[in-house]
Structure 1
C-alpha cells in the first residue's frame, strides 16, 4: 500500500545519453572520398533524450539522468531541455565533461548512410554513484528506461536498484555493439526493444556463443511469417533469460511483440501510472482501441505460451528516419504510463514513429493526439497473432 501511495505522483525515470546530433543531408547522390553538396543541421539527440522528449510531447513527464559538458553543445541541449519544463536535477553538468555528439550522414531519401558517435562522456560520468543519488525518483517511478550508452556497471546499478524497488525496466539496445551489454542484466529487464540485428547480437551475448547470424531478407522473402521463423530462436533466448516482452522493431515491416505469458499478457498494464493531471492520451486511445477487443484468457495451466503479435507499419512520407525507433519506444512507454495496456501502447508507438519519420527532427515539434489516436486505432485493428504455442 505504501508503494502505491508513493507512486501516485511518480514519473518514469530515463537514464542514458543526451547527445548533440550533427545531421549531414546530401542534396545530390553521395560520392565516396570527396565532399558532396548538402546541408548540416544541429539537432538535440541521444536515444534516452529522444525518448524522454517524446514522452513529454505525448503528455508524460520524465526524470532524466544523464551528463552534459559546460560547452556550447551542452548549453544548447540543456537550454532545450529547460524549455520543456522537465526536471534538470538528474543531469550532471561540469567543465570536465565533453558533451556527447553523433555525426550522421543521410542520403537524398533521408536514409541513414553512416554515423560516428562520440559518447564516451556518458560512460565516464553517468556512473553508478551518480545514478544511486536518485533512488527516491526510481522508487516512485512507474517504469525505468535505460539505454545501452551506459557502461555495464551503470546498467547493472540501474537495473538492480529498480529490481530491489519492484520497478519494471525497459532496455533500449542503441546499437549492435552496445546491445551486447544486456548480458549481465537480462533477468532484471521487463521490456526490450531491439531491431533484428540487435536481437541477434543480444542472443549471442546471452548464450556466449556466435550461433545466431544476421537474417538475409532476400532468402526469407517479404513474408512476416518467414522472417519471424528466422528470428524465433533468438527471440526465445531473450524470453528464456527472463525478459517478459521483446518488441522487435522491423522498420517498414512494423514490429512484432513477443511474450511467454500467452494471450493474457495483452491486457496487462503497468501496476502504477502517472496521469500528471492529464488523461488525453488514455481517453483518446481507449476510444479508438477498445481494450476488450484483445481480452484473452489462457486455458493452459502449468506451462507458458509463446505469443507473437505483428503490428504493421503505417504509410509515411519519409523526412528522416533517425528518431523513428526512439519515438516508437517513447510512444509505448507514454501509453503504458498513462494506463493503457500493452496492445494499445504498441499501437501508439507505431503511430508515434510514423509522425517522427515525416519530420526532419528526431522528435516532432508537436504531436497531434487526435492523429496519434486515429493512427493507433488503424494499427490496433490491423494487428494479428503471428504465432501462438503452448510451451510446457
Structure 2
C-alpha cells in the first residue's frame, strides 16, 4: 500500500532504479511515480497483463516513468487508455508487428526514456533515444529531447523439444536486462543477457530457472552463441516510421 511504501522513501529516493509491476494498487503506483518526480529517480513499470497495464495511464503518473516492458497487447492498452487509436487486431507478420510496436511506442516516448516491447518468438523491440548508432539504455538524470528510434533483436532459437515451460520468460528477460543496465553494460550486451535468461526460462520446468546467475547470462562467457545484428528502425517524430 501507499502507506507501507512511504516508510521507505529514503531508500527509494536513492535507488538507481525502482521497479513496479501491475499487481501493485493504483494509489501505490501513483505515489511511487510522484516520488520519481520529486527525487528525479528512474522507475521501471512491468505491466503484468493487459488489464493491469493501464494503471499508470489512468492519470499523469505514467509521465514520471522511465522504462516499461509491455508486450504488444499491453502496449495497445496503454495507448488506448490515453485515448490514442490502436489497431483493431494485432498484426501477424514480423514486418507489421515491428511497425505497429514502433508506432505505438512513439507517443509514450514523449515522456518515457525507453520501452522494451517483448515480442515472444520474435524477440524484443527496444524503443528509445538514439545515441551513437544504438539506443541509450542507461538511467537518465535529466529529460531531454533526442531523436528516437527502435532496434529489433531476434529471439534466440529454441526448439519445441527444449521448451519445458512458457511462464516466466518475459520476467527473466527483463530481470537480466535490468541487471545489465545496473552493471553499466552496453545496449547489445544488456539485451543479450535478457535473451539468454528468457531461453533459460523456456528450457526450465520453473518460471525462473534456478540456474540463472550473472555468469549464466554473460554473453562473453558463451562463445558458441552467434548473435544476429539488430535491425535499426528510425521513428520520425511527426510522420511515422522509416525502415
Q: Which band: TM-score by shorter chain?
A: 0.7 to 0.9
1:234 pairs with one of 104, 108, 113: 104
Map of 1:59 onto structure 2: none
1:157 pairs with one of 11, 27, 31: 31
Aligned pair count reads 229
- Per-residue CA shift, 1:226-269, capped at 9, x if unaligned? 321233332212213x111111101111000011x223463552
Map of 2:165 onto structure 1: 320
Question: 1:141–1:347: structure 2 CA closer, same or farther, 3 Å change rule?
Answer: same
Q: Which of 1 and 2 has greater Rg? A: 1
Provide TM-score, normalisation by structure 1: 0.54
Q: Are the equivalent residues in 2 in contact too, given 1:142–1:167 (CA < 8 A)? A: yes
CA distance in 2, matches of 1:346, 1:266: 11
Provide TM-score, normalisation by structure 2: 0.84
RMSD after superposition = 2.6
- Per-residue CA shift, 1:270-327, capped at 9, x if unaligned? 469xxxxxxxxxxxxxxxxxxxxxxxxxxxxx97423110111112211111110111
Which structure's relative contact order is higher, taking Cα pairs within 8 Å and 6+ residues apart?
1
CA distance in 1, matches of 2:29, 2:100: 29
Q: Are the equivalent residues in 2 in contact too, given 1:332–1:349 (CA < 8 A)? A: yes
Q: How does 1:56-205 map to 2 (within 5 A)?
A: 127-183=1-57, 184=59, 185-205=61-81
Q: Are the equivalent residues in 2 in contact too, given 1:324–1:362 (CA < 8 A)? A: yes
Give the stretch that moved more between structures: 333-342 or 146-155. Answer: 333-342
- 1:309 and 2:151 aligned: yes
- Flag structure 2 segments of 5+ consecutive residues without an equivalent: 239-243
Q: Are the equivalent residues in 2 in contact too, given 1:309–1:383 (CA < 8 A)? A: no
CA distance in 2, matches of 1:169, 1:303: 19
Residue 163 of structure 2: SS of its match in structure 1? coil
